């Protein structure tokens, strides 16, 4: 499942983060890539453990922690602290699939990368290229969203970032371990949850609401790994 979350961050929040990122010290993005990924990766990243990355990451996680669309779609159990990248001057990241597991820095806790998220910090007209290309069961998708928007998609997807030939593309990326390992099951639960919410809004006294809600929670109980 691929899902856009519009305006996760406000215009003011994007401006403040951009100002901080433009003045930050960046490092070669290949330092955090595996052997194969490093061969197709050419970008810059904020160092893992950077105070600035932690500050901006906490802002993103706070927003997502209260966002009903993300919570319904991802059903988060654990979230890896957000990382930040910068593409310019032909910077690109070729086709790859992300590592299955990451360790939360400073801990022994592992996060399984069920759900990938990218948050955009540059407007589409600020740079040429830089599309996030995702290939999965839902087809070939090209993603280039407004600053402050986020895209959520399966961590198992083959994906890439096209070369940025003009301007600078700033973004955040991170992974969520879901309560539900299967993307197909997450999608079914998401569709059911959205239908229940719509029915609740349109017909709050409908006699089937309790039954549908019970079915949702029973499926969640059956499939959850918590």
Q: Do 172 and 193 have their domain in common?
A: no
Calpha distance 55→66 (Å, rounded): 17
Q: Do 192 and 168 have their domain in common?
A: no
- pLDDT score at 31: 83
- pLDDT score at 213: 96
| Token duo for residue 223 | 């499939």
- pLDDT score at 46: 97
Calpha distance 84→74 (Å, rounded): 20
Q: Do 97 and 189 have their domain in common?
A: no
Alpha helices, H only, 46-182 = 51-65, 68-74
Residue list, annotated binding site for 2-oxoglutarate: 169
**How remote is the C-alpha of 195 from its chain's centroid?**
23
- pLDDT score at 143: 97
Q: Do 123 and 214 have their domain in common?
A: no
Residue list, annotated binding site for Fe cation: 96, 98, 159
- pLDDT score at 117: 98
Q: Do 216 and 162 have their domain in common?
A: no
**How remote is the C-alpha of 209 from its chain's centroid?**
31
What's the DSSP call for residue 167?
S
- pLDDT score at 36: 72
Q: Do 174 and 211 have their domain in common?
A: no
- pLDDT score at 59: 98
- pLDDT score at 177: 98
Residues of the chain falling short of pLDDT 50: none
Closest CA to 121 of 6, 2, 3, 9: 9
Beta bridge partners of 170: 86
**Do the bridges between strand 168-178 and strand 83-88 make them parallel or antiparallel, or are there none, so unpaired?**
antiparallel
- pLDDT score at 188: 97
Q: Do 95 and 194 have their domain in common?
A: no
- pLDDT score at 57: 98
Report the SS3 class of residue 11.
helix
Residue list, annotated binding site: 96, 98, 159, 169
- pLDDT score at 122: 98
Give the predicted TM-score (pTM) of the model.
Answer: 0.94
Q: Do 109 and 187 have their domain in common?
A: no
Q: What's the number of domains the chain is made of? A: 2
Q: Do 202 and 118 have their domain in common?
A: no
The CATH number assigned to the domain holding 112 equals 2.60.120.620
Compute φ and ψ for 179, nearest 5 degrees. -60, -25
Q: Do 31 and 61 have their domain in common?
A: yes
The CATH number assigned to the domain holding 196 equals 4.10.860.20
Domain that holds residue 205: 183-223
| Token duo for residue 13 | 């929040």
Q: Do 125 and 196 have their domain in common?
A: no
Q: Do 105 and 73 have their domain in common?
A: yes
């Amino acid at each position: 499942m691929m899902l856009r979350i519009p305006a996760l961050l406000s215009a003011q929040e994007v401006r403040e983060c951009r100002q901080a990122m433009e003045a930050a010290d960046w490092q070669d993005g290949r330092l955090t890539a595996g052997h194969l990924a490093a061969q197709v990766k050419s970008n810059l990243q904020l160092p893992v453990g950077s105070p600035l990355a932690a500050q901006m990451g906490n802002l993103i996680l706070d927003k997502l922690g209260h966002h009903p669309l993300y919570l319904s779609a991802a059903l988060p159990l654990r979230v890896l602290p957000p990382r930040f990248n910068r593409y310019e001057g032909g910077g690109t990241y070729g086709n790859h699939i992300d590592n299955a597991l990451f360790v939360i820095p400073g801990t022994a806790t592992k996060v399984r990368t069920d759900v990938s998220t990218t948050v955009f910090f540059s407007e589409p007209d600020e740079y040429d290229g830089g599309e996030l290309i995702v290939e999965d069961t839902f087809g070939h998708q090209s993603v280039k969203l407004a600053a402050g928007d986020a895209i959520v998609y399966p961590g198992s997807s083959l994906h890439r970032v096209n070369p940025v030939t003009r301007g600078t593309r700033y973004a955040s990326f991170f992974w969520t371990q879901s309560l539900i390992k299967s993307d197909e099951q997450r999608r079914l639960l998401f569709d059911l949850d959205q239908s229940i919410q719509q029915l609740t809004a349109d017909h709050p006294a409908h006699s089937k609401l309790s039954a549908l809600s019970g079915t949702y929670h029973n499926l969640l109980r059956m499939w959850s790994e918590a």
